[in-house]
Amino acid sequence: MSPSASSREYGSLDRTVDQVNVEERAARFTKRSIKNESKIQGLCMALAMCDLTTLEGKDTEGKVRQMCRKARQPVPNDLQRILTDRYQMAPLSVAAVCVYPNLVSTAVDELRGTGVKVASVATGFPSGQYPLEIRLQDVREARSSGADEIDMVVNRGALLQGDYDTVFEEIAAFKAACGTAHLKVILETGEIGNYDAVRRASRLAMDAGADFIKTSTGKIQPAATMPVTLVMLEAIRDHYYETGVKVGMKPAGGIRTAKEALHYLVMLAETLGDDWLTPDLFRFGASGLVNDLLMQLAKQVSGRYQSADYFSLD
Contact 98, 121 (CB under 8 A): yes
Active-site hit among 148, 207, 250, 292:
250
Task: For residues 67 and 93, give the distance between their C-alpha atoms in angstroms, rounded to a whole number.
Answer: 12
pTM of the predicted model as reported, rounded to 2 decimal places: 0.93
- Is-catalytic flag, 151? yes
Answer for the pair 29, 74: CB distance below 8 angstroms, yes or no: no
* Predicted confidence pLDDT, tens digits, the chain (314 residues): 344 444 466 556 767 899 999 999 999 999 988 887 899 999 999 999 999 999 999 999 999 999 999 999 999 999 999 999 999 999 999 999 999 999 999 999 999 999 999 999 999 999 999 999 999 999 999 999 999 999 999 999 999 999 999 999 999 999 999 999 999 999 999 999 899 999 999 999 999 999 999 999 988 888 899 999 999 999 999 999 999 999 999 999 889 999 999 999 999 999 999 999 999 999 999 778 999 999 999 999 887 766 666 676 66
Domains and CATH numbers, the chain: 36-310 (3.20.20.70)
Q: Is 138 a catalytic residue?
A: no
Q: Which of 51, 138, 148, 151 is catalytic?
A: 151
Q: Which of 70, 175, 184, 214 is catalytic?
A: 214
Taking residue 179's Cβ as centre, other Cβ atoms within 10 Å add up to 11
Cβ proximity of 103 and 61 under 8 Å: yes
**Strand pairing category for 212-214 and 182-186:** parallel
Based on the residue annotation, tell me whether 35 is a catalytic residue of this protein: no
